[in-house]
Amino acid sequence: MFHYIKGRLTMTFEGGIVIETGGIGYEIHVPDSCAAYSAGINEELLVYTKVIYKEDDASIYGFSDRETLEIFSRLMTVNGVGAKAALSILSALTLDELKRAIAFDDAVIFTRAQGIGKKIAQRIVLELKDKLPAGVSGPSRQVQDRAADEKDEAITGLMSLGYSRSEAAEAVNSVDPEARTTESYMKEALRSLMKR
């Protein structure tokens, strides 16, 4: 099994690259974010790899670092997520966006990836919530504290507009965590309250 391939970049194609080493050109599927795309032809590269075997095919998937490779492998443990879908997710999201989405239960962001619908997106968040690999974690305590402060300020702001604490808290807590400023929390919560 290959752990990585080190060699000379000979060409790129949509969704992948070819690295030559030992007289063999390896076709490697990589996410759009892979650093190999910004490398020049004939530049030497090291790509961390995973080989996926199917009945009539063997494909190599490559990544710029071990962490992305590990996340790729974790994504494929989710029912309904194969190698192509996992690669699509890593092309659509940065690792930080992916980790934050899982930590904050934000399934919607995964639907940015081609071929990922709502149900699979929800499954990814649910199944990977407590299974992020060592060295991969959700947001730092500082980020979590700041998000909590923003929510508290939004709740206080809504109370000053005449809403009860329970109404304000319920509305703010229903807002997508991607809206991480007091103003955006209040705006989205007000929309929700006005619909009632």
Contact 7, 26 (CB under 8 A): yes
C-alpha R_g of the chain = 21
pLDDT for 196: 65
Beta-bridge mates of residue 9: 19
Question: pTM of the prediction?
Answer: 0.65
The 10s digit of each residue's pLDDT in 98-149 is 988 888 888 999 999 999 999 999 999 999 987 765 444 445 444 455 566 7
Tokens of residue 139, six digits: 């947001």
- CB contact burial 142-155 (16+ within 10 A = b; e otherwise): eeeeebeebbebbb
**Dist CA 172 CA 191 (whole Å):** 10
Contact 192, 171 (CB under 8 A): yes
pLDDT for 157: 81
Domains defined along the chain, listed by start: 4-63 (2.40.50.140), 66-128 (1.10.150.20), 141-195 (1.10.8.10)
Low-confidence ranges of the chain (pLDDT < 70): 1, 37, 132-148, 176-180, 196
